[in-house]
């Protein structure tokens, strides 16, 4: 098994360097102001310069204005857009860029429907549902709601940590895992050791499978 790893919500140069050094496949930058992990375009440009070839740079948006996404794309060399709100398939597809859609899972059948609705995406990210927040909640959900048959790459997110990620990978067998809060020492502040432990744990479980 070769489960890819995205470390999301990076705001500091040293955290980007640590994630890259530990073997992250993707780095996520949050362009959503209410988030404690939100970065400005200026910050994002500086962080992007630290991301080497063959590590993907992902921009996370929640119900963004088209003008804002365009402004980010003009200045930040994103490889992939992550839409984590209520964006429609046509909207996600309208930037001429590769994208993934995140959905917040709370009932059976939702993931199958999203596979069909967002089939033009490069992957479907499944996260925990929360009544008040779009993501980054640190909560997980019932992984039994995830179908075994998948028509596109499935990215598992929501409450992952170095303690539970091996079980998650073994049970769900996702294309990739995505973590934010689980590699932080406090809200919005990444912890280099937790980043490294998380990545090591995914690599360990993948090797044994
Ligand atoms: O990180 C955020 O603040 C955030 C805000 C709004 C939408 C999504 C957000 N983060 C994404 O949420 C999931 C799960 O995060 P966690 O590991 O449970 O903290 C992940 O994809 C983050 O990238």
For 145-201, what is each residue's pLDDT tens digit?
999 999 999 999 999 999 999 999 999 999 999 999 999 999 899 999 999 999 999
- Residue 137: the pLDDT is 92
Find where tokens 């990545």 sit: 199
Greatest alpha-carbon pair distance for the chain in Å reads 46
Sign of CA dihedral 5, 134, 44, 47: negative
Residue 100 phi/psi, 5-degree rounding, is -125, 155
- Cβ(64) to ligand 1 under 6 A? no
Q: For residue 17, indicate whether it is catalytic.
A: no
Whole-model pTM: value is: 0.97
- Residue 209: the pLDDT is 75
- Best probe residue, ligand 1, of 5, 155, 157 (max atoms within 8 Å of C-beta): 157
Instruction: Tell me what ipTM this predicted complex has.
Output: 0.98
Cα-to-centroid distance, 113 and ligand 1 (Å): 22
Sign of CA dihedral 159, 162, 166, 167: negative
Q: Compute CA distances 69 → 46, 73, 91, 104, 122, whole Å.
A: 18, 6, 11, 22, 18
Question: Is the CATH number of domain 4-208 3.20.20.70?
Answer: yes
- pLDDT tens-digit readout, 131-143: 999 998 999 999 9
Interval 52-61 mean pLDDT: 98
What is the rounded distance in angstroms from the CA atom of residue 67 to the CA atom of residue 56? 23
Q: How many helices (H) and strands (E) does the chain have?
A: 7, 10
Cα-to-centroid distance, 86 and ligand 1 (Å): 15
Specify the DSSP class assigned to residue 52.
P
**Residue in 15, 25, 92, 127 annotated catalytic:** 127
- Residue 40: the pLDDT is 98
- Cβ(3) to ligand 1 under 6 A? no
Give domain limits for the chain. 4-208
**Residue in 8, 25, 178, 197 annotated catalytic:** 8
- pLDDT tens-digit readout, 73-100: 999 999 999 999 999 999 999 999 999 9
Q: For residue 8, indicate whether it is catalytic.
A: yes
Cα-to-centroid distance, 99 and ligand 1 (Å): 16
């Amino acid at each position: 098994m070769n489960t890819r790893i995205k470390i999301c919500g990076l705001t500091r140069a040293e955290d980007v360097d640590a994630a890259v050094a530990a073997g992250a496949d993707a780095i996520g930058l949050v362009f959503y102001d209410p988030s404690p992990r939100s970065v400005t375009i200026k910050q994002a440009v500086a962080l992007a310069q630290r991301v080497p070839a063959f590590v993907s740079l992902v921009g996370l948006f929640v119900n963004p204005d088209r003008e804002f996404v365009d402004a980010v794309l003009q200045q930040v060399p994103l490889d992939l857009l992550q839409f984590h709100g209520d964006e429609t398939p046509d909207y996600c597809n309208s930037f001429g860029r590769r994208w993934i859609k995140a959905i917040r899972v709370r009932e059976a059948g939702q993931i199958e429907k999203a596979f069909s609705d967002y089939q033009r995406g490069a992957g479907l990210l499944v996260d925990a549902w929360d009544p008040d927040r779009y993501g980054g909640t640190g909560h997980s959900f019932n992984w039994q709601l995830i179908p075994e048959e998948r028509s596109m790459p499935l990215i598992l997110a929501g409450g992952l940590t170095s303690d539970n990620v091996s079980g998650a990978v073994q049970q769900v067998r996702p294309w990739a895992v995505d973590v934010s809060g689980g590699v932080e020492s406090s809200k919005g502040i990444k912890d280099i050791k937790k980043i490294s432990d998380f990545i090591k744990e995914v690599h360990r479980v993948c090797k044994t499978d």
